[in-house]
Chains A and B, each alone.
Chain A
Amino acid sequence: MLKELGPGLRLTLIFTVLTGLLYPAVMTGVSELVFPKQANGSLVTVGGKVVGSTLIGQPFAKPEYFHPRPSAAGSGYDATASSGSNLGPTSAKLLHGTTKMDDKKNEIVDFDGINLRIVHYCVDNEIPYESSVPLDQFKDSHGDLDDVKLIKAFNDDKTPLVFTAKAPIPPDAVTASASGLDPHISPGNAETQAARIAKARGVSADQLKQLIPQFTDRADLGFLGEPRVNVLMLNIALDQKFPVSK
């Protein structure tokens, strides 16, 4: 055994230098030469300013933009904390959401849950729905939906709120991705959102829908993966073609 210690130590060091320092250094050098844009993160510049990366999703909440998928990365699209929700199919938290107390003892949303996402997706995009209790009962003094009240209603043991969309919801619109940084949504999800965005930008929905296919990738080589729409690139194009009137 002792005779084997020498080569063990030496080969550990040799492999560290070869595969741990030389190999990544050389690969970095070659990548910089051959694929400089990709090697440095596929960053996108608009008007001289870096606004993001084509590969990394970013949060959009305003009605005039296409919205990305829900994200479990940090507080949402945190590119220093990629993550999925890791909640399983029988998780009450995943379906109904949870609330918590903040520092000032106000009850706030801890996790939104798929039910609440469906409510917002239906209301925002004017999708027909059926609700066991009229949604007006969950509005606050400003007339906005109170998420905390809704989550509590979904979690009610005796008479839970039952909310059903009456047109099929694309699953990617209400589920969190694996990375929390998914740059894409499905074409179906983009089309469902088009009417809302057209209204916010004062253009016709048909005009706006024509833009979607330009930012849709079909399956690679015709059979690999799924059709997908790049949200950031589509939203940049929106701002250029149909700027929001201020």
Chain B
Amino acid sequence: MTLLGIAQIVIFFAIVVAITKPIGVFMHRVFEGERTFLHPIFRPLERLIYWLGGVREGEEQSWVRYSASMISLSIFSFLFVYLLQRLQGHLPLNPMHFSTSQAPSNATPMTPDLAFNTAVSFVTNTNWQSYSPDTTMSYLTQMAALAVQNFVSAAVGIAVAVALIRGFARHSAKTIGNFWVDVTRCTLYILLPICILATLFFVGQGSIQNFKGPATVTTLEGATQVIEQGPLASQLAIKMLGTNGGGYFNANSAHPYENPTPLANLLQMLLIFSLGAGLTYMFGKMVRDTRQGWAIFAAMALMFLAGSFICYWAEQAGNPMLTKMGIEHVYTGSQPGGNMEGKEVRFGNPMTALFATVTTDASCGAVIGMHDSFTPIGGLVPLFNIQTDEVIFGGVGAGLYSMLIYAVVAVFIGGLMVGRTPEYVGKKIEQKEVKMAIIAILATSLVILCFTAISSIAPFAANHYWNPPGPSTANLNNGGPHGFSEILYAYSSGAGNNGSAFAGINANTPWYNLSIGVDMLVGRFLFIIPALAIAGSLASKKLIPVTSGTLPTNGSLFVILLIGTVIIVGALTYFPALSLGPIVEHMQMLNGKLF
């Protein structure tokens, strides 16, 4: 590790600390319906949307109606994305002629199972991509189906987090806000304005933004190179800000158009963390004790720093087998050293390791390096981040509501230790809340582990409809424990709504498309609905005063308890599976064993 490498991590983190409060304060104003400096521009549009949408702005909803609204929006979004994909061959803005008879020879057909998987993926904020966008999606599908869900699914996540915070903040109340209003305000005052500025910044750095067809050039050596174009930057901005992560290109943010410079990359990482970090401050503000928010922030920050440095260390140490062949593994200033397979020269090891940690701390899933080619420990960090439900700043909204669910479990464990009814920010945590929290945590691990187990052994015959390559392990790009890691990562990424991959796995078969589709639905909705149930239940409770028997949840003791809960729950659930994957692979790499 070098000073410059460490500086990149530390300075990035310092900027996150600095923007947390301003963003939190602004979000608080937006969701409390207070006037902001953007109101002269967007307030008329907001009212127009309510009028067109048949939404009554002043109306409050119970947690059941809030959930029903959320499901309604998700269903229509799903149908719309599904149809647009299936019909793209008949629609405009399709310069590569995908899904038509003139499609290029390497194009991927838009089958029903692929369209289902992709629609679920974008509606659930996962952005798992079984397809390669370069060879599958028209401009229209990218912008009017996929990028729209990047906005909508992000707004839904934030709305749910806001509703859960209201559950803690309100007392003796029957309602937790209005879903339609929360989603609309989030989109207009938070997502759109930041995206407009970020888009321009990215274009300035070199990202493309046009509606032209591919550019055909003759290279210096006389070969023909076809360079794809399209409206990329506008989608890139929301892909990062909304922690969606679905690439405009197959190589995602490693593609030079999708991440032209290290400076652009810094902004991408900041966009991923900005709203998740801001929400922790907003939480503190809404429960009338900002130290509660900073305690959550501190727990997240410590886990973020630990993950970043472990990943950086592993990637810079590289693969000892390559060192033996004579490849430089130490950074020298004129060459990067370390493990450069699947990494870009402009980013090098420290920045790629940092990005991999950030994108899986949050449920973003964009990548600037191929996680599949990481060293075993370097790949373990993102995998474990996803498996612990991405509570480190997290997906927009999802990070906070997941962390609050862990906080419920943490105070429950704390309560058991001292033998008192647990409390959290002035609310008694009782049977119902703990049950709901456990359902949320168990549901995701259940689908991850069950589907991984099935896909490790399912003996499909070759050319079987469900999996044409044959047994479900025939879809892997790597052998041995690394192949198992590809499967484990796929289902973890799906249920965690992350969307990054050990991308060697060929997941575009009916079996993987449907099973990962179900995996994503469970991970999204069996987390959100319990979270909203907790919100409804807490909102109806009375505030209880702090007494000498209350476990303080705004200090270092609670921070440690919370981190312990996250890591212990994650380790107990996944240690056996991780042992079969990255942990044993690490040992074998050191022994020079190949598969």
Q: Is the CB of A52 within 8 A of B336?
A: no
Q: Interface residues of A, CB < 8 Å — how many? A: 116
Given A43-B215, A129-B326, answer yes or no on A90-B595 (Cβ-Cβ < 8 Å).
yes
User: Which A residues, 52 to 74, have Cβ-Cβ distances below 8 Å to chain B?
Assistant: 52-62, 65, 69, 73-74
Q: Is the CB of B235 within 8 A of A60?
A: no
Q: Is the CB of A56 within 8 A of B250?
A: no
B251 within 8 A of A: yes
Q: Is the CB of A23 within 8 A of B195?
A: yes
Which of the 9-residue segments A13-21, A143-151, A194-202 touches chain B?
A13-21
Residues in A with CB closer than 8 Å to B76 are 8-9, 11-12
B479 within 8 A of A: yes
Per-residue contact bits, chain B 566-584, to A (CB 8 Å; 1 contact, 0 not): 0000000000000000000
Q: Is the CB of A27 within 8 A of B233?
A: yes
Which of B68, B135, B238, B262 meets A81, CB within 8 Å? B135
B509 within 8 A of A: no
B588 within 8 A of A: yes
B211 within 8 A of A: yes
Q: Is the CB of A40 within 8 A of B143?
A: no
Which of the 9-residue segments B4-12, B19-27, B169-177, B515-523 touches chain A?
B4-12
Find the B residue at minimum CB distance from A69.
B345
Which of the 9-residue segments B222-230, B286-294, B532-540 touches chain A?
B222-230
Q: Is the interface of A mostly helix, strand, loop or mixed?
A: mixed
Q: Is the CB of B327 within 8 A of A84?
A: no
Which of B257, B478, B593 meets A87, CB within 8 Å? B478
In the assembly, what is the distance between CA of A219 and CA of B351, in Å? 11
Per-residue contact bits, chain B 309-323, to A (CB 8 Å; 1 contact, 0 not): 000000000110110
Which of A11, A91, A114, A219 meets B180, CB within 8 Å? A11
Q: Is the CB of B4 within 8 A of A84?
A: no
Residues in A with CB closer than 8 Å to B226 are 78-80
Find the A residue at minimum CB distance from B205.
A38
Q: Is the CB of B373 within 8 A of A10?
A: no
Q: Is the CB of B589 within 8 A of A179?
A: no
Find the A residue at minimum CB distance from B595.
A90
B555 within 8 A of A: no
Q: Is the CB of B332 within 8 A of A90?
A: no
A221 within 8 A of B: yes
Which of A15, A81, A186, A228 is packed against the most chain B CB atoms within 10 Å?
A15
Which of the 9-residue segments B48-56, B437-445, B543-551 touches chain A?
B48-56
User: Which B residues, 210 to 263, have Cβ-Cβ distances below 8 Å to chain A?
Assistant: 210-212, 214-215, 217-221, 223, 225-229, 231, 233-235, 238, 249-251, 254-257, 260-263
Find the A residue at minimum CB distance from B77.
A12
Q: Is the CB of B184 within 8 A of A169?
A: no
Per-residue contact bits, chain B 95-106, to A (CB 8 Å; 1 contact, 0 not): 010000000101
B413 within 8 A of A: no
In the assembly, what is the distance between CA of A96 and CA of B379, in Å? 22
Nearest-CB distance from B174 to chain A (Å)?
17
Nearest-CB distance from B242 to chain A (Å)?
10
Which of A52, A57, A80, A182 meets B135, CB within 8 Å? A80
Residues in B with CB closer than 8 Å to A42 are 206, 260
B86 within 8 A of A: no
A49 within 8 A of B: yes
Which of A78, A96, A166 is packed against the most chain B CB atoms within 10 Å?
A78
Identify the B interface with A (CB < 8 A): 4, 7-8, 11, 49, 52-55, 65, 68-69, 71-73, 75-77, 80, 96, 104, 106, 132, 134-135, 143-145, 147-148, 151-152, 180, 183-184, 187, 192, 195-196, 199-200, 203-212, 214-215, 217-221, 223, 225-229, 231, 233-235, 238, 249-251, 254-257, 260-263, 265-266, 318-319, 321-322, 324-329, 332-348, 351-352, 367-370, 372-376, 379, 477-482, 485, 502-504, 585, 588-589, 593-595
Which 8 A-B residue pairs are closest in the complex by CB-CB distance? A225-B262, A165-B326, A8-B72, A86-B504, A188-B335, A178-B254, A226-B348, A179-B251
A sample of 16 inter-chain contacts (CB < 8 A) reads: A34-B203, A35-B204, A39-B208, A60-B220, A90-B589, A90-B593, A91-B594, A96-B594, A118-B327, A176-B341, A181-B255, A181-B256, A188-B332, A223-B7, A225-B261, A225-B263
